[in-house]
Amino acid sequence: MKRIAVLTSGGDAPGMNAAIRAVVRNGIYHGLHVFGVYRGYTGLIQGDFKELSVGSVGDVIQRGGTILYSARCDEFRTEEGRQQAVEQLRKHQIDGLITIGGDGTFQGAKKLTELGFPTIGVPGTIDNDINGTDYTIGFDTAINTVIDAIDRIRDTATSHERTYIVEVMGRDAGDIALLAGLAGGAESILIPEVNSSLEEIIARLKHGADRGKKHSIIIVAEGVGSAVDIGRQVQKATGFETRITVLGHVQRGGTPTAFDRVLASRMGAKAVDLLLSGKKDMMVAIRNNEVLGIDFDEANSQKHHLDLSNHHLASILSI
């Protein structure tokens, strides 16, 4: 193996640049030529390749987003599109590919391996919803962004004696809502993995008010429903003044935390090591602080499971 390529695909996540940096520099350290593919699978099909040097990834470890850009590509979902991607890889004499992204990125990577092209995946998504790994790149930064927002919102909630509903990302997975809610002292945390009734939420709010509590914060994962709708129902049922905050894409941006920088560096370097050792159908994962490779099938075929004991703990601590 002499020439490898790296791309980022799907939603951006803080720490992706640190992973790209690790791929490039570990590859060069081992005597490889490393190419960046711009704009994900779209760039793969269009042949948007550029060789990267040590200096190409200087001063990026602290930056959010991705210097290789990202795009969603419907064309890659077709067999013809994937064939074109492989042809471009062969044309540029690429021997192995590293893809950084989430579940959609890995499904695409798996398709490339089925066409005989060696591909390694690095999990980069703020949702932390990839099976087989304890953490994904960007998750730690995202929850810290949410916690910072919760702390700021709590200041004004206390001052005005209000209830705040805070909507966070998490269409299918409640990891961000759960851990940020636990760390931020939220009174209720609504996640897709747990059925929480409106009656239960209202009862908790009234119980808090009865013991003299002046404000409350409820965290809602977007997959549960609209914070606006929930807020209207809460205010109607309780009479408490209620405000809504939808954090949106602010959760994806920002400087990656030290944890995400280290995780991304370890995972990016490991991806190169896996290619050099002859692996071609794997995802990098971290389990019990050990970085290792697992089969794409394990990552793609099973649903990510959230540790719901933290949800029970949050309920206990917010009485």
Count the neighbouring beta carbons within 10 Å of the beta carbon of residue 229: 12
Instruction: Report whether 20 belongs to an annotated binding site.
Output: no
Instruction: Report whether 279 belongs to an annotated binding site.
Output: no
Instruction: Report whether 235 belongs to an annotated binding site.
Output: no
Spot the catalytic one: 59, 74, 127, 148.
Answer: 127
Q: Crossing angle of helices 139-160/258-276, nearest 10°?
A: 160
Instruction: Report whether 215 belongs to an annotated binding site.
Output: yes
Instruction: Report whether 311 belongs to an annotated binding site.
Output: no
Q: How far is CA 29 from the centre of its chain?
A: 28
Instruction: Report whether 312 belongs to an annotated binding site.
Output: no
Instruction: Report whether 187 belongs to an annotated binding site.
Output: yes
Residues 164 and 242 sit within 8 Å (Cβ to Cβ): yes
Catalytic residue status for 127: yes
What secondary structure does DSSP assign to 97-110, as a single string? Answer: EEEEESHHHHHHHH
d(CA 205, CA 241): 12
Instruction: Report whether 126 belongs to an annotated binding site.
Output: yes
Instruction: Report whether 154 belongs to an annotated binding site.
Output: yes
Instruction: Report whether 23 belongs to an annotated binding site.
Output: yes
Instruction: Report whether 243 belongs to an annotated binding site.
Output: yes
Instruction: Report whether 213 belongs to an annotated binding site.
Output: yes
Instruction: Report whether 80 belongs to an annotated binding site.
Output: no
Instruction: Report whether 214 belongs to an annotated binding site.
Output: yes
Residues 206 and 238 sit within 8 Å (Cβ to Cβ): yes
303 burial type by CB count under 10 A (0-12 exposed, 13-18 middle, 19+ buried): exposed
Instruction: Report whether 72 belongs to an annotated binding site.
Output: yes
Instruction: Report whether 236 belongs to an annotated binding site.
Output: no
Q: State the binding site.
A: 11, 21-25, 72-73, 102-105, 125-127, 154, 162, 169-171, 185-187, 211, 213-215, 222, 243, 249-252
Q: State the binding site for substrate.
A: 125-127, 162, 169-171, 222, 243, 249-252
Q: State the binding site for Mg(2+).
A: 103
Q: State the binding site for ADP.
A: 21-25, 154, 185-187, 211, 213-215
State the catalytic residues.
127
